[in-house]
A and B are shown apart, each in its own frame.
Chain A
Amino acid sequence: MTTGRRRAILFATCIVDQLYPTVGLAAAELLEQQGIDVDVPSDLLCCGQMAFNAGFRDDAYAVAGRTLEVLRGKGDVVMPSGSCAAMIRHLYHELFAHTPFAGMAAELAHRTYELSEYLVDGLGVTDVGARFNGRITYHDACHGLRFLGVGKQARALLSRVQGAEVVPLPGCDQCCGFGGLFAIKQHTISTAMLDRKIEAIASTEADLVVTGDVSCMTQIAGGLSRRNIPTRARHLAEVLANMVDAR
């Protein structure tokens, strides 16, 4: 990480940009609170994961290659998504192997962080002055958990949210069934997995189920509302930046 007056790129990801702008704003606010100058390049769009996961490597190469160019020579890159950060950190290596981009990809991987990891491991903060009066449970999104080792950071941050009762989620590290196009192509399996997740969430009677990935959040929120379960799904950043109403 760079020293002095810190700057960071907030790579909000395409899903946050289009579906969850408050998550992007919340992430920006959390970084600014810590004295970081936040930059959001206007032409930074997507990490390419959707194409890569579907096996379309040429397409992924085009999307991710462009992203590499946009991020070239910039400082730390922070993402409110474990999955997209894992794409850059873990999978760009294979995508760009034996290409002229290999070196750039490796360099980018070294300065890309998932948000909670950046806050806790990078900046050393856990208390960000958040308040929430209610019960919170946490779902470990798979890619952040297994490919970046993210989870303890989020829990540390949540434990400092004033007024919140944080309760464990049974099977917290079980996949919610999202999996990108899997959620559509294999929708019956995907929703069978979701059913189990919803059952576990309902059993906690939490006001919020918090996670670090908006894709999982979309899956879980979609399941909760369709089944009329009052628990709301929110991104960790929204809770930490006090952007969730108590209701």
Chain B
Amino acid sequence: MPQTIAFYDRVDHALHDSSLQTALHRATSRFIGNRASAISALGDADRLRDQARAIRAHALAHLDELLPQLAANVEARGGHVCWASDGEEARQYIIELAHARGVRSIVKSKSMASEEIHLNEALEAAGFEVIETDLGEYIIQLAGETPSHIIAPAIHKTREQVSELFQQHLGMPPTTEVPLMIRTARQALRQRFLQADMGISGVNFGVADSGAIVIVENEGNARLSTTVPRIHVAIMGIERIVARLADLGVMLQVLARSATGQKLSVYTSLISGPARPGEEDGPEEFHLVLLDNGRSQILGGQYAESLLCIRCGACLNACPVYQAIGGHAYGSVYSGPIGAILTPLLQPDLPDAHLLPQASSLCGACQEVCPVRIAIPDMLLRHRADAVKAGKVNPVEKVAIAGYTLTMTHPAIYNAGGKAGRFFSRILARKGHFRRLPPPLHLWTKQRDFPALPPKSFRELWAERKNQRRSSS
């Protein structure tokens, strides 16, 4: 999505895109239903979520010990660690490595961190052939798009649209039968796995005490990407760490149940370095890129809680705004409620970043489903306060709020305002409603009526009632 289109235009575009609406509705309702039954099947979901939060909070509080521990354990097993303070350093490390090892073809499994640093573009510009192997990622790569959901990158596409893409790019005969479509993609991808010199993956959890990284998936493509090519590069946001292997019991459960509604993902891979002497499977080289890219700035501040996120995507599915506009309308790498928190922090140069936290009714559905109970609405409110402090405010709104504050701190003005409102209401309202209001309230009455003001306010009626009672007693 080009960034030149303003946020509001993207929103309108999304609201009028009927394929998008169909795709979003189908997918988010399925996700919501699956999550709800998987969580209720737990019986004690609340306790598990509390534990998950505690595990993540502990990890963040001890990042300064756990990250070096993870790195030392990875290196002890023959792996390499790159500390990348930003996207540029990460890209450079990977590109230099690929050049040095004579890499030509690269397979990737899903990684939002790689999206965050725009790795694909950089690798392609450096002359490497890059293929996404997660089915959803593969679809959007064919379409030349970016993911619109953390765990379901092609959620915005209907089956019919995917079929067209496959017909066009892979020569598939016309069909919308899912097994056939999957088989087509699998055949196209198989060759790529075998040719690839390097596999790049994301990381769901880095485990400090054992030096392992954990990748969960349902298609087996991550397992292939990390074992078949001779070099494996894993990119991990520095916050995605847990202290102990024993923590995974809780984390994997809440992740799978919150993300897809599964008890566990189909494949859970624990990778701890390259193949050891005598081992047949596994890459010759393993590199772990620890990506900061703004995260250490968030630590300890008023948005620190956002680093607890395990990228399950549940808040996106539950969000009525996301359900209405999808991920691309946000224009950012991370979309939905958690994206609205992270984007102003991780992509501060995005011109519309400050608008994303505005695109919320603060309903709290996100916090309700979040497996680590992140207080997303509170942080949206903090972003709004930051935007006001930074002067990123609509001038009409500024005037409106000034008027509001004056009114609500002066009973005399409040009462006079009420009287004036009731006067205009008597003249302009019809049958108990306003069908049209002057700007900026016309934005309300475009699709909604507004109630006429009653002849008397509650406090006027209350005062009258009190007087009557006094005189009758």
Contacts and interface: CB of A to CB of B under 8 A. Distances in A.
A5 B449 CA distance: 43
Interface stretch (B95-103, B109-117, B450-458): B450-458
B459 A17 contact: yes
A42 interface: yes
A28 interface: yes
A188 B362 contact: no
A219 interface: yes
A28 B464 CA distance: 14
B461 A54 contact: no
A42 B457 CA distance: 12
Given A51-B401, A146-B367, A226-B448, A25 B324 contact: no
Helix, strand, loop or mixed for chain B's interface? helix
A154 interface: no
Contact of A54 (B367, B384, B441): B384
Contact of A45 (B393, B397, B411, B433): B411
B384 A55 contact: yes
Given A187-B443, A218-B450, A175 B402 contact: no
Interface in B433-473: 433, 440-441, 443-444, 446-451, 453-454, 456-463, 465
Contact of A226 (B358, B378, B440, B449): B449
A41 to B, nearest CB: 9
Interface in B374-421: 378, 381, 383-388, 393-394, 397, 401-402, 404-405, 407-409, 411, 414, 418, 421
Interface in B354-369: 358-365, 367-368
Given A142-B364, A146-B365, A25 B462 contact: yes
Contacts of B397: 54, 181, 185
A175 B364 CA distance: 9
Interface stretch (A125-133, A158-166, A191-199): A191-199
A143 B453 contact: no
A222 interface: yes
A33 interface: no
B124 interface: no
A225 B449 contact: yes
Interface stretch (A57-65, A108-116, A202-210): A57-65
A102 interface: no
A153 interface: no
Given A42-B459, A62-B409, A225 B385 contact: no
Contacts of B433: 222, 225
Nearest to A192: B324
Contacts of A180: 361-362
Contacts of B360: 179, 182
A46 B406 CA distance: 12
A43 B411 contact: yes
Contacts of A189: 11, 15, 321, 324-325, 359
A180 B456 CA distance: 24
B408 to A, nearest CB: 4
B325 to A, nearest CB: 6
Contacts of A196: 320
Contacts of A212: none
Contacts of B405: 51, 56, 59, 62-63
B444 A183 contact: yes
Contact of A222 (B321, B444, B454, B459): B444
B361 A193 contact: yes
A166 B401 CA distance: 40
A18 B447 contact: no
Contacts of B367: 146
B453 A182 contact: no
Contact of A25 (B363, B378, B441, B461): B461
Interface residues of B, number: 61
A94 interface: yes
B391 to A, nearest CB: 11
Contacts of A177: 320, 361
A52 B12 CA distance: 27
Contacts of A18: 418, 421, 453, 457-458
Contacts of A173: 365
B446 A179 contact: no
Interface string A58-94: 0100110010000000000000000000000001001
A51 B404 contact: yes
Nearest to A90: B378
Contacts of A183: 361, 444
B447 A63 contact: no
Interface in A132-152: 142-143, 145-147
A96 interface: no
B82 to A, nearest CB: 38
Contacts of B388: 54-57
A62 B408 CA distance: 9
Contacts of B456: 21
A23 B461 CA distance: 12
Contacts of A16: 458
B164 to A, nearest CB: 26
A21 B409 contact: no
B40 to A, nearest CB: 15
Q: Which residue of B15, B363, B381 has the most chain A CB atoms within 10 A of its CB atom?
A: B363
Given A63-B408, A187-B447, A19 B459 contact: no
A57 B321 CA distance: 24
Contacts of A156: none
12 contacts: A16-B458, A23-B458, A40-B458, A50-B404, A63-B408, A66-B408, A145-B364, A182-B359, A192-B324, A222-B448, A222-B450, A225-B433
Interface of A: 12, 14, 16-25, 28, 40, 42-43, 45-46, 48, 50-57, 59, 62-63, 66, 91, 94, 142-143, 145-147, 173-175, 177-194, 196, 218-219, 221-223, 225-226
The 4 closest A-B pairs by CB, nearest first: A179-B361, A55-B384, A222-B448, A24-B458
Given A63-B404, A182-B359, 10 more contacts: A20-B454, A23-B458, A62-B405, A94-B378, A146-B368, A175-B361, A190-B361, A191-B446, A194-B447, A221-B451
